[in-house]
Amino acid sequence: MHRLRTLLALAVSVVPLAAFAQGSPECAAALKGSAPRVKLTTSLGAIVVQLDKEKAPISTENFVKYVDSGHYNGTVFHRVIDAFMIQGGGFSKDLREKPTNPPIKNESTNGLKNEPYTVAMARTNVRDSATSQFFINSKDNDFLNYAGESNPGYAVFGKVVEGTNVVDKIRKVKVQPTNVSEAQPLEPVVIEKAECLAPKAAGGKK
């Protein structure tokens, strides 16, 4: 329960984002495709996430829009708990909270589970409060799944399909408690660039 409380406690204040970028061809194509993919190039290597547009359309579109706007570029994984998850997408390298768009609906009832290497939306203790922050599960966190109206859970919207070794590197970094997180990396783990990948050609390798 301690970990659940601390995940909820990481409140994300909603500071209006002026406007999203006009849209890259890659992100526009990704949203039209059936299996959008996003590449996160981090200071410890690259991670490719396949998004589940069918089961998590709201979260997928939200995530792609933040990618498209450049929001994630230069953000850090500010909360890293080895046998739990790694969380990022909200703070710059100097640990300033970045502005966001309004929160989205929690899609935790979509049937996707918080299993190892799945990606889910972080939120406050308010059910529909997710904005830009996300986390990658490093173990089977079944207690984060939807379990009724009193325990609405966390919405999974994708899975790491390349770079699980990078996730493992990140979750093993040394951390310390700070005013931002109870487990902030001593050396910043930076998302240097987030980008949509062009849809794979039909018949190509998956």
Query: What type of residue is 95?
Result: L
The model's pLDDT over 28-72, given as tens digits with 9 standing for 90+, comes to 888 888 889 999 999 999 999 999 999 999 999 999 999 999 999
Q: Is 53 helix (H, G, I), strand (E, B) or coil?
A: coil
pLDDT by residue, tens only, the chain of 206 residues: 334 434 544 444 444 444 444 578 889 888 888 889 999 999 999 999 999 999 999 999 999 999 999 999 999 999 999 999 999 999 999 999 999 999 999 999 999 999 999 999 999 999 999 999 999 999 999 999 999 999 999 999 999 999 999 999 999 999 999 999 999 999 999 999 999 998 875 554 44
Domain 2-197 in this protein, CATH class: mainly beta
Predicted structure pTM score: 0.88
Burial, 74: exposed, middle or buried (Cβ in 10 Å; 0-12, 13-18, 19+)? Answer: middle
**Given the structure tokens 């009193």, which residue do they identify?**
150
Give the integer Cα–Cα distance in Å for 108 and 55.
Answer: 10
Contact status, residue 132 vs residue 100, Cβ threshold 8 Å: yes
Give the list of residues 6+ apart from residue 163 with CB closer than 8 angstroms, or none.
40, 45, 46, 47, 48
